[in-house]
Amino acid sequence: MLEFEIIPSDTNRKVYKTLVIKNYAYNNPSMKILFDTGAYLPVWTDGIANFIDTFAQCRYLNIKAILSGFGVSYEVADVYGVPVFVLRDDKGNWVKINNLYIVVTKRDFSFQMILSFPTLEKMNYHYLSYTNKNNIYKQIDPKFRIYPHRDTYYMSPNIITVNNIILNRLEEKYEGISSRIKIGDRILDNVYTFTQE
């Protein structure tokens, strides 16, 4: 079992509106991870230089991803591969994900990485929170626990090669995207985590 203290979003009042934890696996003392139920791709939000410093073995994959949210209509960003991503708590318990596909961008957030809950889909996890009838968020337990069934998991991507039909659909959804995405480009559509390669 891995156990993480959830970092309060308002440290003065110990309010936990987001699920942010600190990862102790890398020589990046400020590495905080937001677990996001709405995200479908892992995202590094602290820029390419800090990404390469943190993940020295990363590789550029010549794949693009379309991010939406972040307070903007959309963004086209590059995808990198991390051969082995380790999630470690402060007691030394760990789980690793091989072949992590991660979108790299630069945003001014209090965390460096977003992991989607589908990244943990083959693991059990637990945290207690709720929103009451007055829409007030309550954190019952300030711990996030992960119960992996094994030490190592594997990530598999769903990559789409852009053709005319896909480009037209993308242009309908994201106005002006054809200036950033071309026919033949590869787009990371989703990722899946498995228990074996």
State residue 197's pLDDT score: 54
Residue 100 near residue 155 (C-beta atoms within 8 A): yes
12 pLDDT band, cuts 50/70/90, is low
Residues across the chain: 197
State residue 73's pLDDT score: 82
> Is residue 132 pLDDT above 80, yes or no?
no
Q: Mind listing the pLDDT tens digit for each residue in 54-74?
A: 999 999 999 999 998 766 789
State residue 121's pLDDT score: 77
Domain span at 30: 2-194
The share of the chain scoring above pLDDT 90, in percent, equals 61
CATH of the domain at 66: 2.40.70.10
What's the start-to-end Cα distance of the chain, in Å? 23
- Our count of domains for the chain comes to 1
Predicted TM-score of the model (pTM)? 0.88
Least confident of 51-65, 70-84, 175-189: 70-84
Q: Mind listing the pLDDT tens digit for each residue in 99-109?
A: 999 999 999 88
Least confident of 11-20, 103-112, 123-132, 173-182: 11-20
Least confident of 31-40, 60-69, 121-130: 121-130
